[in-house]
């Protein structure tokens, strides 16, 4: 199939002739010459002759992507986000803003309907040339779901030409193992109706290592080593249509499915010696092969009516997710190869989510009044069975590990918002209510937890524009974070035979109140955020000195205070050399009761990112990106400093229809995460996580067809973010 696809692309490539490139030329009127004031006007035109890559929208940073030199060598949108001020992308492609907030991802103002891994694959399928801008909203208003502590809104490039258009994106990641991503987008625009189809196939191997050094209570020293290799393949397809009934009415429908299969091998060892490391106490090995599959099905329907200053929109979503996983846990004595223990697990997890929402807005003079209501219903069922090898080489049901757990959640929400502009001041005020009714049922331990609460969540923002070059924004909001299913489910997830974490069905939601100030001067943007979070959800270690088992349990901390100061500024060193610097400082104070004591520390850390772009002759662009994170942590753990360096080169061919990129991420393989437990009298534990992020990346993007337009994307709800 892939050979046929490449052959088709080759034929299309041969048949395409060069297109004339569009150019943008600045014009200065002759009438501006001759006076001092006219000279000022000319100076301003010169400053704006190059497109401004950074601007603000209601206090939110908006970064231009297509045509921005800073992103020309980026292979996909995740690479773009890594270089976007205020955004962090970790080794597992997790996206964060404000240090530790996981944002909702929006496409053209609407959230996308995808699970974590599917979303990451989709973001990799978007090349920078397909994206008009990225908006980072670190303090959403009451208009948005209270779960959204942050939003990244991706605006795709638009073109209303009729006809069909296609695009192929392919990425290859080369290390010890290879991973390949392939996506084909095809769309057809008749004028009144737009049809779109997207198919994807990803396949390959990724690896991970975990190492720990622990000084046990009896003074012995135990070393844990875990090596994991994950072979996975993912198939995805989504199809939709956008019907423009007339100038006022439109209807959209989208169907999608995603299928993931994974075979994971995990091999580990526990090597224990006396305190002088002279005498071997025990040396065991473990094998943990895993077979995992996930099937997703989603339907999205939306309708909008717009008549003069009035607008009404409806959005309905249905999502079905089925997870299946089988594990084997085999532990042996290394010197003799004798079997010490053997147990199996069989997991079945099913999630169904329904949601509907209606939004209306009316323009009255220069004011906008908005209101909306939303209802969502999610139902999650989990059944994990463990069987242990007993005497007679027979597997028997293990009640101590097995678990049946269900979780139902119904949320009714609504909001009222008011926006108006008074001269240079823009006011945006809102009030949101959310009523949550949930029941968690741990069938195995006969425990039912029922929760019903109503919360009011206000927001307010003020924006003042001094002139075209500078503006100031102040915003306030109160948000809620509900515990996810995995945080509530009281079953064991093993990292090693002596290390696992367990969910807590009694977790409470957390509430965050924060204030954010943003100032922009030309392309220089500075943010300051300060806030407080109550009932913070976190995990804590619990060590058993008799069994040497280390559990990670879930709990709510009373509160934490936090602050962040961030600044970013571009500098043109030479005509062919641009440099953008990002400097962020963080403050975090956790009030953490732990083992009948209270641990509360002021944690300060900073991050520096430098992005250098070199525009070379013959259309080549070279990018050197460096990132440094200082020592950080929390009340219990110290996280050591780390850094990474990326180098990449880009070249376009055939009037930008073919785009090729090659790079090397994490060039020095220096971005592993090292943690150390602070309080040695309780537990002396040091651990390291390593991902295969140091790798060669080759990317090819090819555009074909006769039209360009913005593909209608699917939508994602707050509940789907938490259904993992």
End-to-end alpha carbon distance in the chain: 32
Q: What is the pLDDT of residue 354?
A: 92
Residue 596: Cβ within 10 Å count: 5
Gyration radius from the chain CA atoms? 27
Render pLDDT for 289-338 as a digit per residue (tens, 0 to 9). Answer: 999 999 989 899 999 999 989 999 999 989 899 999 999 999 999 999 99
**Which residue shows structure tokens 């043109």?**
572
The 3-class SS string of 160-202 reads CCCEEEEEEEEEEEECCCEEEEEEEEEEEECCCEEEEEEEEEE
Q: What is the pLDDT of residue 265?
A: 94
How far is 191 from 211, CA to CA, in rounded Å? Answer: 58
DSSP letter at 150? -
Q: What is the pLDDT of residue 134?
A: 93
Strands 549-574 and 499-502: parallel
Return the H-helix or E-strand segment holding 117. helix 116-125
Q: What is the pLDDT of residue 13?
A: 33
Closest-CA residue to 512 (of 138, 150, 149, 151): 149
How far is 411 from 352, CA to CA, in rounded Å? Answer: 14
Q: Which residues of the chain have pLDDT under 70?
A: 1-52, 113, 115, 158-160, 707-724
| Topology of the domain comprising 165-722 | Maltoporin; Chain A (2.40.170)
Return the H-helix or E-strand segment holding 15. helix 2-15
This prediction has a pTM of: 0.84
Instruction: Report domain extents, the chain.
Output: 165-722
Return the H-helix or E-strand segment holding 567. strand 549-574
Q: What is the pLDDT of residue 291?
A: 96
Q: What is the pLDDT of residue 30?
A: 37
């Amino acid at each position: 199939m892939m050979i046929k696809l490449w052959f088709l692309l080759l034929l299309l490539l041969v048949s395409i002739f060069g297109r004339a490139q569009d150019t943008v030329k600045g014009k200065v009127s002759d009438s501006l010459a001759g006076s001092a004031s006219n000279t000022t006007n000319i100076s301003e035109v010169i400053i704006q002759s190059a497109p401004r890559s950074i601007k603000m929208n209601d206090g939110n940073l908006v970064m231009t992507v297509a045509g921005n030199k800073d992103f020309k060598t980026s292979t996909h949108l995740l690479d773009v986000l890594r270089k976007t001020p205020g955004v962090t992308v970790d080794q597992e492609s997790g996206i964060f803003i404000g240090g530790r907030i996981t944002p909702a991802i929006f496409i053209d103002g609407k959230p996308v309907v995808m699970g974590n891994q599917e979303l990451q694959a989709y973001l990799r399928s978007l090349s920078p040339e397909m994206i008009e801008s990225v908006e980072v909203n670190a303090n959403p208003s009451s208009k948005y779901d209270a779960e959204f502590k942050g939003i990244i809104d991706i605006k795709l490039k638009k073109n209303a030409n009729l006809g069909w258009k296609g695009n192929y994106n392919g990425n290859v990641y080369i290390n010890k193992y290879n991973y390949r991503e392939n996506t084909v987008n095809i769309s057809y625009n008749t004028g009144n109706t737009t049809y779109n189809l997207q198919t994807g196939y990803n396949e390959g191997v990724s690896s991970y290592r975990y190492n720990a050094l622990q000084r046990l209570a009896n003074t012995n020293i135990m070393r844990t080593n875990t090596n994991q290799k994950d072979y996975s393949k993912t198939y995805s397809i989504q199809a939709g249509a956008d019907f423009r009934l007339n100038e006022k009415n439109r209807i959209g429908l989208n169907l999608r499915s995603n299928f993931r299969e994974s075979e994971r091998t995990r091999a580990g060892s526990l090597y224990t010696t006396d305190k002088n490391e002279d005498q071997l106490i025990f040396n065991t090995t473990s094998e943990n092969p895993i077979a995992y599959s996930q099937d997703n099905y989603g339907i999205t329907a939306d309708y909008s009516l717009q008549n003069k200053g009035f607008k009404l929109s409806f959005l309905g979503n249905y999502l079905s997710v089925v997870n299946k996983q089988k594990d084997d846990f085999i532990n042996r004595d290394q010197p003799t190869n004798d079997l010490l223990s053997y147990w199996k697990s069989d997991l079945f997890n099913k999630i169904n989510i329904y949601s509907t929402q209606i939004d209306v807005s009316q323009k009255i003079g220069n004011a906008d009044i908005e209101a909306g209501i939303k209802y969502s219903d999610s139902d999650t069922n989990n059944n994990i069975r463990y069987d242990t090898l007993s005497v007679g080489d027979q597997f028997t049901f293990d009640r101590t590990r097995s678990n049946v757990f269900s979780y139902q959640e119904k949320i009714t929400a609504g909001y009222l918002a008011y926006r108006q502009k008074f001269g240079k001041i823009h006011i945006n005020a809102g009030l949101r209510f959310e009523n949550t009714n949930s029941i968690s049922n741990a069938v195995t331990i006969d425990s039912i937890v029922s929760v019903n609460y109503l919360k009011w969540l206000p927001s307010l923002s003020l924006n003042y524009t001094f002139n075209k070059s500078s503006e100031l924004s102040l915003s306030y909001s109160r948000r809620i974070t509900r515990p996810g299913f995995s945080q509530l489910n009281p079953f064991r997830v093993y990292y090693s035979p002596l290390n696992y974490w367990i969910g807590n069905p009694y977790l409470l939601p957390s509430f965050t109140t924060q204030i954010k100030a943003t100032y922009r001067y030309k392309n220089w943007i500075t943010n300051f955020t300060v806030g407080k979070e109550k009932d913070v959800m976190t995990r804590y270690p619990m060590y058993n000195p008799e069994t040497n088992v280390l559990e990670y349990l879930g709990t709510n901390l009373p509160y934490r205070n936090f602050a962040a100061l961030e600044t970013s500024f571009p500098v043109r060193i030479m005509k062919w050399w641009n440099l953008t610097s990002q400097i962020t400082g963080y403050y975090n104070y956790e009030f953490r009761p732990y083992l009948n004591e209270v641990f509360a520390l002021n944690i300060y850390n900073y991050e520096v990112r430098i992005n250098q772009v070199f525009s070379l002759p013959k259309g080549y662009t070279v990018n050197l990106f460096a990132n440094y994170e200082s020592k950080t942590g929390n009340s219990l753990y110290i996280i050591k400093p780390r850094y990474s360096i990326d180098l990449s080169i880009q070249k376009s061919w055939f009037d930008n229809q073919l785009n090729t990129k090659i790079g090397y991420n994490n060039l020095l393989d220096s971005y592993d995460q090292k943690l150390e437990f602070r309080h040695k009298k309780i537990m002396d534990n040091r651990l390291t996580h390593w991902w295969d992020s140091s790798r060669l990346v080759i990317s090819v993007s090819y555009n074909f067809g006769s039209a360009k337009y913005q593909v209608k994307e699917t939508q994602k709800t707050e509940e789907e973010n938490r259904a993992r």
